[in-house]
Amino acid sequence: MANHTENTVYLTQRELAERWRCSEGTIINRRKNGIITYFKLPGSDKPLYPFEEILAIEEEHTKQTKPKGGDKKKKAEIKKVEPCVSTPQKEWRI
């Protein structure tokens, strides 16, 4: 666990849920499963989450995507096609 100083910034449960675009229940589950560290002030029911540790979790779980086949991706070809015009089989008189 990190050593917190008086300059440490904390997020509330609601702020963290909004940041991660999930419900507060999801944050509670992740806290109970030991994924997120938190603390509660004596006499308070509101958990606070150290912002630096939240950033560390985000960095650890951020994935970079790479295109399949690297830079050798085949480009689409443009083909020129002559228009197909059929001649009428029967002449119509009006």
How far apart (Å, rounded) are the C-alpha atoms in residues 37 and 1? 8
Cα distance between residue 7 and residue 66, in whole Å:
38
Using the predicted structure, report yes or no on whether residue 34 has a pLDDT greater than 80. yes
pLDDT digits over 42-82, tens only?
999 999 999 999 999 999 988 888 766 655 666 778 777 77
pLDDT at 32: 94
Indicate if the pLDDT at residue 9 is higher than 70. Answer: yes
* Residue boundaries of the structural domains of the chain: 10-61
What local confidence, expressed as pLDDT, does residue 56 receive?
93
- Predicted confidence (pLDDT) at residue 14 exceeds the cutoff of 80: yes
